[in-house]
Amino acid sequence: MKVAVVGATGMVGEVMLKVLAERNFPLTELIPVASERSVGKTISYKGQDYKVVGLADAVAMKPDVALFSAGGDTSLEWAPKFAEVGTTVVDNSSAWRMDPTKKLIVPEINANELTKDDKIIANPNCSTIQLVMALAPLHKKYKMKRVVVSTYQSVSGTGVKAVKQLENEVAGIKGEMAYPYPIGRNALPHCDVFLDNGYTKEEMKLALEPQKILSDTSFSVSATAVRIPTAGGHSESVNVEFENDYDLADVRKLLSETPGVIVQDNTDTNTYPMPIYAHGKDEVFVGRIRRDETQKNTINMWIVADNLRKGAATNTIQIAEYLIENKMI
C-alpha cells in the first residue's frame, strides 16, 4: 500500500502523518509530497526519515492512495493526474466538494455511497463535519427543517501564519498579519472571503455541504462564521427546528449512541464541550442541549471538535481506511 501525503509539510499534512501513525494505517511505502520549495526536505514517520518529493515525481510513483491537503488550486490541477494513473485521491480542500460528479464523505454518515470507481473523493469543510456528525442522527429521527449555526473558529483553521499572528500578539511582538485586524482579545466575523450575497465562503460551505452529505435539500442552514483567538478546536452554537417534536432525554441518548460523538452535558457539574479539551481527540463533543422555549420543536446545542483532526486529517484517513476495508483500493 503506497500512500502519498500531498502537503506533508503543512499544518494539516503534519497532523495526517501523526494520525496515520497513531492508527497504524496499513502502508508499506510513504511518499511525502509538497511544493517545490520543500522538495528535498526530510520528514520523520515512525522513526524513519523520508525525503519530500514534488508532485510530478509523486504521480510517476503511482501511489495506491493520495491524501491531499495542499489547497484548492493544487487539487484541481493535480488530483486528476493522480486519478489518471489509478491513484484514489481523498482531497481535503474545497475544490471538489460541490462537484456533482464527486462524493462528499463523512464515513460515519455516508461512506456506503463510495464505490471502486470513485477516484477523487472530497473531504468536507472542518466546521461542516462536526455539525453533520451531531445533526445526522437527529435528522433521521425528527426531520430537520431549519438550522441556524454560529461558529467560533480557531486560528489554526487559517493556517500557520494565523497561529503565528496570535502567538506574536500574546507575546507583544509585532509581526506578519494573517488577518486584517488583531485576533488576540478579539473576534472577527470574517472566515474566508466575502461573496456577493454578503456571506463568506465558509458560511456558504456550512449552508450547502450538509445537504449534499445527507442527500437532502428539504432543510436549510443559515450560518455566521467567526474567528476567535483559540489555538485549536472549532465550536458551534446550533439551533435546530424539527418537523417532529422530541424528548430531551431521547436526544441525549441518541447522540451518546452515535459512533464518533461524545455527549458532555451536565450543567450541575459545569460539564460541557470546550476546545481546550477537544484538542488532540477525534470525537465530536456535544453539550448545552436544551429546548428552545421560543419556538416549537426546536433545540439548542453546543458542538466542539478538533478542526485539524476530525475536521480534516482524521476524516480523510477514515475514508481511506473504509476503502481499504471494503477492497476498493
Q: What is the pLDDT of residues 68-107, one digit of tens each?
A: 999 999 999 999 999 999 999 999 999 999 999 999 999 9
pLDDT for 13 equals 97
Q: pLDDT tens for residues 20-33?
A: 999 999 999 999 99
Alpha carbon 85 to its chain centroid, in Å, reads 27
Maximum C-alpha span of the chain = 60
Catalytic residue among 139, 190, 234, 279: 234
- Let me know if 191 is a catalytic residue: no
Q: 157 is written with which cell numbers?
A: 483553521
Core vs surface per residue 9-31: b (16+ CB within 10 A) or e: bbbbbbbbbbbbeeeebebeebb
Assess whether 234 carries a catalytic annotation: yes
pTM of the predicted protein model: 0.97
Q: Which residues contact 204 (CB under 8 A, 6 or more apart)?
A: 195, 197, 223
What pLDDT is recorded for position 234?
98
Tell me the average pLDDT of the chain. Answer: 98
| Confidence (pLDDT) at 175 | 97
What pLDDT, on a 0 to 100 scale, did the predictor assign at position 263? 98
* Ranges of the chain whose pLDDT falls below 50: none
Task: List CB contacts of 139: < 8 A, sequence separation 6 or more.
Answer: 214, 216, 219
The torsion angle over the Cα atoms of residues 84, 86, 90 and 93, rounded to 10 degrees, is -20
Report how many helices (DSSP H) and strands (DSSP E) the chain contains, helices first. Answer: 10, 14
Q: Which domains does the chain have, with CATH numbers?
A: 2-123+312-325 (3.40.50.720), 127-307 (3.30.360.10)
